[in-house]
Structure 1
Amino acid sequence: MALQVIPADQPLQVSAIITYIYADPGLGKTSMGFTADKAISFDFDKGAHRTGELRRGAVVQVKQWSDVANLTPQDLAPYNTVVIDTVGAMLESIKTHLMMSATNKQKDGSLKLKAQGLANNIFKQYVNTLIASGKDVVFIAHASEDQNGDQVIYRPDLGGKNRNELYRIADIMGYLTTVTTGEGKNARVISFKPCPTHHAKNAGGLGGETGEVWVPDLKTNPTFLADVIKQAKDHINTMTPEQIAAIKAQEDLDNWVQSCAEAQYASDLNQLTESIDSEHQYYKNMRVALLKRAADMGCTFDKERKSWVDPAEFFGLDDEQLAALQEFIDERGLDAKTVCEHLGLDALSQIEVKQLDGVKKDIDQLAKEIIKA
């Protein structure tokens, strides 16, 4: 039989996609998973029983990773959608499985770095197996609330490296929350459009310009998520592979830049560094964003340890020391403005305690040079 070749300018039919939904507590994300097409839920979070009459699909109550890993293609044949509830609990299940082997544990009982990498690989391989079998995959996650300056940011409650990996492989990702309508009623909405307050992806063109999909009463709309996924696939299947790749690459970059802006500690930078893809179309842009954020945070890269290091803690002068320094400056016929300009500072309060003796020597030298002039 001749090999079927699809030209680059023709749409490439996609039969299965990855959907990623994260939500605030109590919004029915588990119940929503059962509205996918012929769904089977892998209940890692042990919460399927709370869905009551809305549980319309099969459930695997996962007690250990082998409960899922040992499922055969024949076991999953009756189902079109696999719901991972929640992805964070799934990753913990894999790590717990690996910790059963002493070779994967450190002396303190924690998982070795190499084993953590193995856990990520097991996770990715399993998801790829599901996609290859033609199953849609729905990841459900809890939302975490983080503070970045004055801005509150909602994002999946997942570690940095795994979070970035899921950003990369997801076709659509939405934040499920509640809003107050013009009539003063509470309504649920999934936002698939990324913005400064939350992360999202929308290769499926969901929700029009706003990227918002309103969630109806699931009792009377039992195929809600199935309809959303079908709409996304129909949209993706109108595009050429190049168009899909361009959209996903741009969304990867946007999420990366947003993640960099939200980094607060060297550990955040290390997670981003581990997850950066050197083969990505926007690798250079991603690296620039990472280095800029590191510079803004005052972090340095330890080449020997191959990791980012937080800046040393700042110990400034107390009120008594500042008053004594001001008197020291006055005695030499100078003022604080002149001294700060000389030292390249905005204020004397930026001087560290450990620098005080050296600063006084600089001030003495400055006063002498002014007198000579």
Structure 2
Amino acid sequence: MALPIIEANQTLLVQAIIVYLYADPGLGKTSIGFTGDKAISFDFDKGAHRTGELRRGAVVQVQQWSDVANLTPQDLAPYNTVVIDTVGAMLESIKTHLALNNTNKQKDGSLKLKAQGLANNIFKQYVNTLIASGKDVVFIAHASEDQNGDQIVYRPDLGGKNRNELYRIADIMGYLTTVTTGEGKNARVISFKPCPTHHAKNAGGLGGETGEVWVPDLKQNPTFLADIIKQAKDHINRMTPEQLETIKADQDYENWKQSCTEAQHAGDLNQLTESLPQGHRYVMDMWYAVQRRAKELGCPYNKDEKKWLNSPEFNGISNEQLAHLQDFIAERGLDTKTVCEYLGLDALAQIEVKQFAAVKVEIDNYAKSMVKT
């Protein structure tokens, strides 16, 4: 039997795609997930019950990582769309699973760097398994509100390295928010077009020139997400592999440059450096973008440690501010180790005085995201 060969100028049909949807609290992102085609939701955030009558799909109430890891292809056979709700909680579930093994922990109880890398690998391998099985995968995330100079930026509430990885593997990524219409009414809209105020990605050509898709009444439109995914697939499958690769690469690079612009300290630069996608057509341009931002921030590079360092002129928070911040964190039910990992810092002392207020806002938003769907 002759081997079927698809030439470079021929379309390569895509059977499954990765969707990344992030939103402000209370906008119904979990309910949207249930409008996927034959959807099953992995409820890591334990919020599926809040969808009420809009819960139209199956649910796995995840108590521990093995609840998901032990699912077989036969278990998932009836479903076409797997919804990860939320991706941040999924990664925490994997890390908690690894922490059960004392050899993965440091003396203070935090995961060793090697174990954190293992968590990322487990995550990527599991997603690849779902894609290989022909399932569409929908990642749901909370939105975080970050300050970049005078500009407020909305992006997925996920640590830098994992966030950059999901940017890379997603086919479409949208920010769900509310806007006021000309009639003075509130309406929900998903923006798939990247701009300075939020991150997005649109290989599926959704929303035309504006990249905006309005969210209808889900009671009347129970296949809303399924329709979006089909539209994206149809668009992707009209392109050759070379065209699709170019579009994705260009969007990856634009998101990367935006992330570099938003970097505020050496911790951000180190996360970006660790996330450099080796083999990407723009990997050297991405590296140069990191270097340019490092120069703007005055952060030198230590070749021996292979890490960016904060500027010698770094003006860190005072001991009084440090104590205040520790109390601020405890009041919100968080711990310093978790917050430092979330912010990409080795210690709270790495925070600059000028970033003190913005960091408090970010920590407060992070705390709120841990208790909201």
Q: Distance in 1 between matches of 2:65 and 2:133?
A: 20
1:193 aligns with 193
The question of 1:27 aligning with 2:27 is answered yes
Residue 225 of structure 1 aligns to a residue whose secondary structure is: helix
Q: Distance in 1 between matches of 2:294 and 2:59?
A: 44
- Give 1:277 deviation, angstroms: 1.7
1:208 aligns with 208
- Give 1:169 deviation, angstroms: 0.2
Instruction: Classify 1:197/1:256 alpha carbon distance in 2 versus 1 (closer, same or farther; 3 Å).
Output: same
Identity within the alignment, %:
81
Q: Which range is displaced more, 278-287 or 74-83?
A: 278-287
1:282 aligns with 282
Runs of 4+ in 1 over 4 A off after TM superposition: none
The question of 1:97 aligning with 2:70 is answered no
Q: Distance in 1 between matches of 2:314 and 2:253?
A: 33
2:347 aligns with none
1:244 aligns with 244
What amino acid does structure 2 have at the position aligned with 1:275? S
The question of 1:184 aligning with 2:179 is answered no
What amino acid does structure 2 have at the position aligned with 1:68? V
Instruction: Tell me the alpha carbon deviations over residues 154-200 of structure 1, each in whole angstroms, 9 at most, x when there is no partner.
Output: 00000000000000000000000000000000000000000000000
Q: Distance in 2 between matches of 1:299 and 1:108?
A: 29
What amino acid does structure 1 have at the position aligned with 2:221? N
Map 1:267-278 → 2, pairs under 5 A: 267-278=267-278
Instruction: Classify 1:107/1:314 alpha carbon distance in 2 versus 1 (closer, same or farther; 3 Å).
Output: closer
- CA-atom RMSD, angstroms? 0.8
- Give 1:304 deviation, angstroms: 2.1
Q: Distance in 2 between matches of 1:84 and 1:75?
A: 16
Stretches of structure 2 lacking an aligned partner (at least 5 in a row):
316-373
- Give 1:278 deviation, angstroms: 2.7
Instruction: Tell me the alpha carbon deviations over residues 212-262 of structure 1, each in whole angstroms, 9 at most, x when there is no partner.
Output: 000000011000000000000000000000000000000010000000000
Map 1:67-146 → 2, pairs under 5 A: 67-146=67-146
- Give 1:314 deviation, angstroms: 5.4
2:153 aligns with 153
Instruction: Classify 1:169/1:314 alpha carbon distance in 2 versus 1 (closer, same or farther; 3 Å).
Output: closer
Q: Distance in 2 between matches of 1:218 and 1:175?
A: 18
Stretches of structure 1 lacking an aligned partner (at least 5 in a row):
316-373
1:46 aligns with 46
1:169 aligns with 169
What amino acid does structure 2 have at the position aligned with 1:132? A
Provide the TM-score with structure 1 as the length reference: 0.84
Q: Distance in 1 between matches of 2:50 and 2:271?
A: 34
- Give 1:313 deviation, angstroms: 4.3
How many residues in Structure 1 have an aligned counterpart in Structure 2?
315
Q: Distance in 2 between matches of 1:29 and 1:298?
A: 40
Instruction: Classify 1:314/1:176 alpha carbon distance in 2 versus 1 (closer, same or farther; 3 Å).
Output: closer
- Give 1:286 deviation, angstroms: 0.6
Map 1:189-338 → 2, pairs under 5 A: 189-313=189-313
Residue 16 of structure 1 aligns to a residue whose secondary structure is: coil
Provide the TM-score with structure 2 as the length reference: 0.84
